[in-house]
Structures are given as C-alpha cells and as structure tokens.
C-alpha cells in the first residue's frame, strides 16, 4: 500500500481512540486534547497530524503525490494550450459569449439566460490581454483577423487546465490512494471532449472549475473535523462558500453542486448532533458557522456579482426590451433615461405598448400575413422583444374622427379606442378564429386599409384598479384592452411563433378576464406635441427590484429555450454512451473541422465502472450487513467505497438526472459536469478492484494483474487519445466516411458526424 493508504489505515484502526477525544479551547485559542488513557496518549504522540486531521507517520511516499501532481498539471496545461489560437475564427457559442465579453468592455447592456459572472470574467480577460471589444461576433466562421482574441481563449483554457489537478486532489483525499487519483486525473487529461470545451470562449470551463473547486474545498473541510473552529477549518469552510457563489454565478447548473454540499453538510450536522460529548451550545456554534459560511457568504457574494454587473453595464443595448420600462430608465442612451414625455395618454398620440409579463415584448406588427390554415389570412400581430419602428401605434377615436385644431382629449378608463399600426395603417383586430398556438384563445390580426376597418377593431381601455374617468398615465398605469365584440383581453401568451412568425412572441385575445401580467400592458413611448412633458427620473427602480426582475427574466428565458425547426439537440440518455457530439467548426473537407466528442474509450470505461461500482458497493454492503469480519486494507476499501465513492456517485446523479425533467432544449455539453464526477468515481472503482483481485486469484497472479492492468490502462488512454486527438485540435481533408481520411475507421457509431 502507498503512504496515503497507510495513513488512512492507521486512522481507521484508531477510531476507538478518536471517539474518546474531547476538544476544547485554551485562552490563546489553541486546541487541547484529553485522552482516555496514557497508552492512547502515547500512541497519538507518535503520530503526526497531517492533511487536516488524518494521522500518519512520516514516509518517503508522502513526497510522491507532489511530483505526480506537478506531472498532472503539466500534462493538463500542455493538452489545453496546444494550438489554442486555432482556428482563427469564431467557433460555435463563441458567437454568444465572446460578444457578451465585448459588451462588458463597452459597458453595453444585454440579456442572457445565465448569471453574469462567467461573461464578466471573459470580458475582464479580454480587456487585460489587449482586446478592445470591437469584434462583432456575428456568426461562426467569421475571421478574427487582427483582433486580440487569444486572451479570452487562454483564460478558459487555464481554468480547464485546473480540472485534472482538482480531480487528482479530490480522489486523493477520498481514497488516500495515489494510483486512484492518477487514474481519475488521466481520464480528464486525455479526454478529447474536456480539451475541446476548454479551448474556446465558453462558460463551460469556468463553470466546471468552480464546481470542482467547490467539491475539493468541501472534502478538505471534512478532513478538519478534529480541529473545529481552527484557522484551517474556517479557511476551507469559507472557501467552499466562495466557490459555491462562483458556481451559481456562472450558470444555474451551479445549484446542483450547492445541493451536493448541502446534503454533505446536513449529514455532518446530524453526526455532530449525535455526539453526546458535544453540548447543544457547541452544536449551535457549528450550525451558525455553516449558515454563515455556506448560505450567507455565498448569497452576499452572489448579490455582489449582480451589483457589479449592473454598475458596469449602464449603457442601453440589445437587452433593453426584455426588461420593464422602469428598468430601462436607468440605462444611459435609452430613450427613457432622464427623458421627458407627456404624462397622460391622449387621442392622436403615437405610442408603444409593452406587456407587463417579463419578456412579454412590445405590441408589434409587420407586413407579413398569417399563413394559410392559421386562422384568418390577415396581417400578423406579435410581441417583439426589441425596440423597433414597427412597435409604433396611433391612438384613434372609435369613429376615426380627428380634431386637429382643438385641444387634445385624454384617454380615460372605460373609453373605446382604435389602435392603428403606424407603418402599415391597419387596425388592431380580433375575431372568432383560434389563435395560432394557444388554441383556447382568439387570433389577433392587423385589418383594414388606411385606418378604415369594422367593429372588430374596437377596444375598451381599462386601468387596473381604476374607476370611470381616470386618465391613463404613461408608464405608470397598468392597462388592459378589452375587445368589444368578443369580450376577450389582449394578451401576450409568452409562446414563440415558428419561423413564419419570425420567432416572435404570440399575441392572442384571451377569453379569461382575470388580471395577470399576460393581459396587462403599459404605455412606454409617448409622442404628442400638443401635451406638456414631465421628467421620468422618478421611475428608476431600487437595486433589489432590478435584481428580482433580472432573475425572473433569466428563469423565463431559460424555460423558453425550446428546440427550433431542424435544430440539432440531444436527449439525456444519449450522453453517457457518447451517442452524438457537437460540431464546433467546419462542415466539409476544405474547412478546418472541430468536433466536440468525448474520447469513446474513456466514456465507455466510465459507464462500465459505474456498473462495477454498484456491484462492488452491493457486495460490500451485504458483507457488512452479514457481519463478515473485515480487517486491514479490506476495511479501508469498504469505507472508501461507501464514503468517498458514495459522495461521487451522488454528485454524478445530481448533475445528470435533473436534465430528464427539464423542458428546455438540451445539448451534449450539458453532461460534462456529471462526467467529472463519473471520471473521479472510475478512479476509485478501478483502483479498489485491481487491489482486491487477490480475493479471486492467488496473490502472485493478482499482483501481476494489478500492475499489468495499470500499465494497460495508461497505455490504452494514451493510444486512444492519439487516435482521436484530431477531434479537438482540428481536421482537414476528407471526411471520416472516406477511406483516405485520417479518421477513417474511427467512426465507431453512425451518429458521429466528423
């Protein structure tokens, strides 16, 4: 056994002595340990506390993990930074996250479905390495040319390079076995999928780095159990909280690792509650320390991330329309910032009408008609999330009479109006045809010519909470539009129309007259030269209001990410079997092709190891339940399987199973956080399996098989990486179906598209 295993073995054999330990604090803050007998005290003095509570004797093997860790780090950096600047054009989601990094440099507000930390760090990395934020990131394949993009890629590659060392340290803590830790690290070093995700301007390497760091800090904190409230105990507790806030600050997937740490903490507190040597006062201190370190601190840091986000992005940009009018009023350059406009709505005003549902959009129309078979073949009316000239509507009297000479007449609660689309001069209209997507609602269209139409163009204005005669206040009044002929309410359903509707939001007329944000609107832009203007500075919201609104927008935006026509997506059962990859760049033999696909040898080995782990855990649990006497390394391995392996299996389940119940569109890269846990579990499983071959075979044969198995494993990883490395580092020439291709014969599954 190696030095780490000897250390762990010594600790387990001395659990009876550890149970009698009582910790206390001296006036200087140092810990004092009272032992039940002089014999136990002498035994403790002979051993040296090491690595946060694990006891060991000095050994030459203690230096081996350091050199091995350095080797792991060097290999990880080399595989991630090799050809980091190729291809010199935009690849896959660099379109989004590179552009968002540019927005931070330019301080331009935008909308994204993920929290801001990852994009902020990308923007900061670009700024520090000389990128000026001027590259447009329009579409994949656009050449970077003279723009300095390598800094953002290098930042992501640096964080991706941390994954194998973190895996090494985590498995080393859980198993106390250098070979197990090396196996886990090797699986991540030589996985083509992890390399590809780490080499581009993406959120994934940032997210996975925070997840692994959170797990490492949690495991290191667990090793401090015998040193409560010491400096190292507080250090690892608080650092766990910091990393948790980072995980959630990059993507909401960080909630899964928060749940993992929460479950671990709950079990830890339950164990402390059962320790009768610990007073309830001391237990309360433990509870409060964890509440502070794992709840309050992460929440404070997470909120601070958004505070910085809102301070930096203070200029109007493409994300304005997703947010309320009050939110937009705080953005420099927005037409509502420090603006003035007439306070009350009047006939003859030109307005934009915004739905109060988060991301409900502006009432919008355009020259395109609904297709045949979708209600009446009339002009489309939609909700559009961006500011546009086609959002403008003219408020008219029901009889179309316009008095251009007299004073303006205000629109009041209960008045009947027509809304004429400014660009097409057709009226807002509804009738007894079902809506395109929400079949229980009625269709809304644009109808008539030059403002002339019929009785189906009449809408009654209702101010929510108002009474007869109350004027409609711009921006501040919540307004409903009741269709006079059918009795339904103008509504933004929140559903995205197909391509014939330009993927804008469906507008319907809802027969359900209850007050909901979907049927409530406010007047945002208001142009009427006959009315006096007032300042809109009073509309600026508080920080907590914009924080809450931004989260509602992100959550609804995430749930609204549905598969589009002919768009490639995948299902969760595809992922563990490496069924299908993702094309990052290039589609033909003349282009530089990069294909995201995990090393199949590694992924299928992980899948096999999951089954082997469950089998081994079942056997160990049955043996323990039947009272089979286990001593020495067999007892150590049983403990490692149940404690360390169980924690990693839980991490894999928490990062994988929730995707089965998600309604949003899913992609292959969503599995990679779970793959990290699967690879670490493989390291523990294979190491324990090889070390216990003597249970099935003779000692000499099992020893040779163990050494041979380790050698074959390492050789297989390196050779498989040699075969599949072009997936990560780029391919040119014939496709894999062509016998002349460098990848000929490696397309082991028909679903692979390289």
* 418 belongs to a structural domain: yes
* 494 belongs to a structural domain: yes
* 485 belongs to a structural domain: yes
**Mean predicted confidence (pLDDT) in 492-510:** 91
Domain of 481 in residue numbering reads as: 334-540
The span from the CA of 734 to the CA of 748, in Å, is 17
* 513 belongs to a structural domain: yes
Does residue 565 have a pLDDT over 60? Answer: no
Name beta bridge partners: 595. Answer: 583
Q: Mean pLDDT score of the chain, rounded to an integer?
A: 85
pLDDT band at 46; cut points 50, 70, 90: very low
Which pLDDT does position 59 carry in this prediction? 35
Burial 272-295 (b: 16+ CB within 10 A, else e): beeeeebeeebeeebeebbeebbe
Percent of the chain predicted with pLDDT > 90: 56
Q: How many residues belong to the chain? A: 754
* 211 belongs to a structural domain: no
* 559 belongs to a structural domain: no
C-beta pairs of 737-741 under 8 Å, 24+ apart in sequence: 738/589
CATH number of the CATH domain containing 419: 2.80.10.50
The span from the CA of 681 to the CA of 609, in Å, is 8
Please answer whether residues 96 and 306 qualify as being in contact, where contact means their C-beta atoms are separated by less than 8 angstroms: no
Taking the model in full, what pTM does it have? 0.81
pLDDT digits (tens, 9 = 90+) for 279-328: 999 999 999 999 999 999 999 999 999 999 999 999 999 888 888 888 88
Say if strands 416-421 and 393-396 run parallel, antiparallel, or are unpaired.
antiparallel
565: nearest Cα among 519, 514, 496: 496
pLDDT digits (tens, 9 = 90+) for 54-77: 333 333 334 448 889 999 999 999
Lowest average pLDDT, out of 207-211, 404-408, 502-506, 540-544, goes to: 404-408
* 36 belongs to a structural domain: no
**Mean predicted confidence (pLDDT) in 159-176:** 94
Q: Look at the chain and report how many structural domains it folds into.
A: 1
Which pLDDT does position 20 carry in this prediction? 37
Does residue 680 have a pLDDT over 90? Answer: yes
* 267 belongs to a structural domain: no
């Amino acid at each position: 056994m190696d030095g780490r295993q000897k250390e762990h073995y010594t600790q387990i054999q001395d659990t009876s002595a550890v149970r009698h330990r009582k910790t206390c604090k001296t006036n200087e803050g140092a810990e004092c340990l009272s032992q039940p007998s002089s014999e136990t005290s002498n035994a403790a003095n002979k051993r040296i506390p090491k690595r946060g509570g694990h006891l060991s004797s000095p050994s030459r093997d203690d230096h081996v993990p350091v050199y091995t860790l350095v080797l792991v780090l060097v290999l990880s950096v080399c595989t991630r930074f090799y050809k980091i600047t190729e291809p010199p054009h935009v690849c896959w989601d660099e379109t989004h996250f590179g552009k968002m990094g540019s927005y931070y440099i330019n301080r331009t507000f935008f909308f994204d479905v993920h929290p801001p930390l990852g994009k902020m760090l990308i923007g900061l990395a670009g700024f520090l390495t000389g990128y000026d934020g001027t590259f447009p990131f329009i579409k994949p394949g656009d050449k970077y040319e003279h723009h300095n993009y390598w800094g953002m890629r290098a930042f992501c590659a640096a964080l991706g390079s941390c994954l194998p060392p973190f895996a090494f340290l985590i498995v080393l803590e859980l198993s106390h076995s250098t070979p197990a830790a090396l196996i886990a690290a090797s699986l991540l070093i030589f996985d083509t999928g992890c390399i590809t995700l780490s080499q581009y301007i993406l959120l994934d390497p940032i997210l996975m780095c925070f997840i692994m760091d959170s797990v490492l800090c949690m495991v290191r904190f667990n090793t401090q159990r015998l040193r409560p409230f010491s400096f190292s105990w507080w250090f690892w507790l608080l650092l766990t909280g910091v990393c948790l806030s980072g995980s959630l600050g990059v993507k909401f997937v960080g909630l899964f690792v928060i749940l993992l740490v929460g479950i671990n903490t709950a079990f830890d507190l339950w164990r402390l509650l059962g320790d009768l040597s610990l007073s309830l006062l001391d237990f309360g201190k433990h509870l409060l320390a964890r509440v502070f370190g794992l709840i309050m601190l992460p929440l404070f840091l997470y909120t601070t991330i958004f505070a910085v986000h809102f301070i930096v992005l203070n200029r109007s940009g493409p994300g304005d329309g997703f947010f309320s009018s009050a939110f937009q009023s705080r953005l420099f350059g927005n037409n509502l910032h420090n603006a003035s406009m007439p306070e009350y709505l009047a006939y003859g005003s030109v307005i934009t009408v915004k739905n109060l549902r988060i991301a409900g959009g502006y009432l919008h129309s355009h020259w395109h008609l609904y297709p045949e078979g979708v209600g009446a073949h009339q002009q489309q009316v939609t909700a559009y999330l961006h500011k546009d000239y086609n959002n403008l509507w003219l408020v008219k009297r029901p009889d179309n009479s316009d008095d251009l000479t007299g004073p303006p007449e205000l629109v009041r609660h209960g008045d009947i109006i027509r809304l004429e689309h400014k660009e097409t001069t057709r009226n807002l209209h509804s009738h007894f045809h079902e809506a395109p997507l929400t079949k229980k609602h009625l269709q809304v269209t644009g109808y008539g010519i030059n403002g002339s139409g019929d009785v189906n163009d009449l809408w009654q204005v209702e101010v929510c909470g108002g009474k007869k005669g109350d004027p409609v206040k711009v921006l501040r009044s919540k307004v409903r539009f009741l269709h006079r002929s059918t009795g339904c309410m103008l509504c933004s359903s929140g559903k995205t129309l197909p391509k014939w509707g330009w993927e804008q939001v469906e507008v319907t007329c809802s027969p359900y007259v209850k007050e909901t944000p979907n049927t409530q609107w406010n007047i945002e832009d208001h142009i009427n030269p006959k009315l006096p203007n007032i300042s809109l500075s009073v509309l600026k919201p508080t920080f907590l209001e914009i924080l809450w609104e931004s989260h509602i927008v992100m959550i609804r935006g995430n749930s609204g990410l549905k598969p589009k026509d002919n768009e490639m997506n995948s299902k969760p059962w595809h992922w563990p079997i490496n069924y299908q990859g993702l094309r990052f760049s290039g589609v033909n033999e003349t282009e530089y092709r990069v294909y995201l696909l995990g090393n199949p040898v590694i992924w299928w080995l992980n899948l096999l190891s999951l089954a082997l782990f469950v089998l081994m855990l079942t056997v160990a649990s049955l043996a323990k339940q039947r009272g089979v006497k286990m001593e020495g390394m067999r007892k150590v391995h049983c403990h490692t399987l149940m404690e360390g392996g169980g924690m990693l299996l839980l991490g894999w389940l928490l990062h994988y199973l929730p995707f089965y119940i998600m309604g949003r569109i899913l992609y292959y890269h969503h599995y990679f956080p779970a793959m990290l846990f699967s690879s670490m579990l493989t390291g523990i499983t294979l190491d324990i399996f090889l070390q216990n071959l003597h249970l099935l075979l003779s000692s000499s044969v099992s020893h040779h098989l163990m050494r041979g198995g380790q050698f074959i494993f390492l050789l297989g990883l390196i050779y498989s990486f040699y075969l599949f490395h072009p997936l990560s580092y780029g391919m040119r020439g014939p496709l894999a179906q062509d016998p002349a291709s460098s990848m000929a014969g490696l397309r082991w599954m028909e679903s692979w598209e390289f």
